[in-house]
Structure 1
């Protein structure tokens, strides 16, 4: 006899756990299959943008309970050019991802979600039933399955959806123990350094309550492949300049070039990183993961209660995010990372015009949408600042 669930979710990250909370609270029988021991490490700087807050509130998660730092602004550097922006009352937090993610998973467990420590080997469709084959030879059955299992999604592979290699990005990160004096030197700001790579940046996110600074970098896979200097050495050089010693460095691929073309097949849908829902500008994916989890749950509820086609409903809900990433996010990526001369001009404009700096800060922290950012950073609107930057 096979164990049966209304919905099976593969992956216990923010997307999968968020979806499970909403579904379990509506009375559905839900299981999450997670291959890692929980809590597990996630390759991430651990910055929670203001865009994530409404989703967390909807799930009943108090961000203050897991926050290690509340940021008041950010500093950006390109070579000798350094500029920054304080964003006032906007809420941006620093967390340890294993603690943050596990807080959401625990909320799911409290709601009655079953967590299975297994790995999915394959899927098989039989009429309107999905059979899920596990690594312990057990077989589960369900009518709806969510693939929230990351960039190397086995679910995406099983349903024949691809993510092109040229869309991949890569990141390295580590939590570095730091004294209060070093942490305080960041002035409660995120730090982004665009000096080292044609695309991407080095980050330093202080976390005062944890007495650490998360240091890392994100860039496209092509840059990593063709780098003449080992990437780890660049991070080590940055850390040494700050009198910091880097412990073990973690690396991972991330979606960096847009979403998948199709968000699922029939009653199997893809969430979060598995769907390529990551910003091509900043590499941030937590807010999109949470939103995709909520949308997936809402679509599943409509499927069960009103027989609404699951994939059609979910794709429609995701359409604005898809356009934000694939159209406007990629446009901003080109604006920000279009060669060193263009980037230097952008930084000179930011250093001489606080309004442009503020707008860039709002884009990076997702206070405004990428569509709004593209429209507000048009060449015509930037022309006076461009002229000033070029002649001084």
Structure 2
């Protein structure tokens, strides 16, 4: 592995930009290839657990510049409106991807990262070196390639990743709204066939993002019909949508969202963020996990550069161990909770238990969140 050839990161979302900032901070040459311009809205819950704040501080990222909301409470309701509340064990903050990705992009550029706006057509690994080919007939040679291109991409198809061949039954919808909503609260509301997260981001804007099963959505002509017929059957969501004004011309959508297990390493490409594994939005922790995964891999790459890790094989094995240690159980819990809440009788039973034993909900939250992410140094 010729690390002197630098590192190419494919994808410039949360995980990719964070890895670029980290690796450039420790003096490595980084090229990041991203197909979109900044800033850009993305389908996302836009709540970040405070577990990654110490790491952001180490990266010299002062998120307070974006005026995020400080979130400390959770409300959760079933489809019929039964509600429970609790304090979030670590709390978090709300900030839009529109603002945050642009902020991280600027920091990466300041750190000396080369950021290329282009589409990646192919990634070839030969003789222990990667060559990345783009749509604009450019090629980049590097010792390490990091995959950070999101939930689903044509790259996944070319790599013949297993999850791509399986039909995914999930659709995600997101928009920003003007509506009265507490600054310190994140709402998670169940409806038939899905879940909806509600929380405030910067500038007094409320982000509403929901995940719906294709089976429940396909009966309706469009998003508006689905929301009016299904989503607002939850009385809490009904009140929110009836008193809100959408700030987007149309909602953003993503189809074929897959929560199946993904291989962490494909053809020696090291995956981070949603490219490596996606936690159910009902756990509210995807953004923090994406940032944390960038930290884990970046620290291991530094050890490889310092020859503490002696080979590519040991780097890959170390990353697999670290990922499983930090995320495997959390992802499993997310899949389990999603399965339970999709079953009406099971979700009602779970709600009754949590109402009777209110301390149970914070325990469940802890199972899908991590500890404070501190630096080794």
TM-score range, shorter chain: 0.7 to 0.9
Which of 185, 188, 196 is 1:192 aligned to? Answer: 188
Which of 188, 200, 217 is 2:210 aligned to? Answer: 217
Which of 224, 227, 242 is 1:232 aligned to? Answer: 224
Q: Which residue of 1 aligns with 2:175?
A: 174
Alignment of 1:309-328 (within 5 A): 309=312, 310-328=315-333
Which of 187, 191, 199 is 1:205 aligned to? Answer: 199
Structure 2 residue runs without a partner (length 5+) = 233-237, 373-377
What's the RMSD between the two structures over aligned residues? 2.8
Q: Distance in 1 between matches of 2:226 and 2:336?
A: 28
- Greater alpha carbon shift after TM alignment, 133-142 vs 314-323: 314-323
1:367 Cα deviation from its structure 2 partner: 5.8
Q: Which residue of 2 aligns with 1:293?
A: 294
Q: Distance in 2 between matches of 1:290 and 1:138?
A: 28
Q: What TM-score comes out, normalization by structure 1 length? A: 0.80
SS in 1 for 2:52: helix
Report if the CA contact (8 A) 1:32-1:116 is conserved: yes
1:67-95 deviations in whole A, cap 9, x for unaligned?
4311231222221412212347x331111
1:39-88 deviations in whole A, cap 9, x for unaligned?
22211121111333233233222232224311231222221412212347
SS in 1 for 2:306: helix
Quickly say closer, same or farther: Cα 1:45–1:290, change in 2 above 3 A. same
- Greater alpha carbon shift after TM alignment, 166-175 vs 92-101: 166-175
The question of 1:331 aligning with 2:336 is answered yes
Structure 1 residue runs without a partner (length 5+) = 370-392
Q: What TM-score comes out, normalization by structure 2 length? A: 0.83
Quickly say closer, same or farther: Cα 1:93–1:234, change in 2 above 3 A. farther
SS in 2 for 1:215: strand
Q: Which residue of 2 aligns with 1:378?
A: none
Q: Which residue of 2 aligns with 1:85?
A: 86
Q: Which residue of 1 aligns with 2:129?
A: 129
Report how many residues are paired: 353
Report if the CA contact (8 A) 2:16-2:148 is conserved: yes
| Structure ranking higher on relative contact order (CA contacts 8 Å, 6+ apart) | 2
Q: Distance in 2 between matches of 1:255 and 1:283?
A: 16
Which of 342, 347, 361 is 1:343 aligned to? Answer: 347
Show structure 1 runs of 4+ deviating over 6 A.
none
Q: Which residue of 2 aligns with 1:249?
A: 251
Q: Distance in 2 between matches of 1:73 and 1:99?
A: 23
SS in 2 for 1:72: strand
Quickly say closer, same or farther: Cα 1:7–1:86, change in 2 above 3 A. same
Q: Which residue of 2 aligns with 1:55?
A: 55
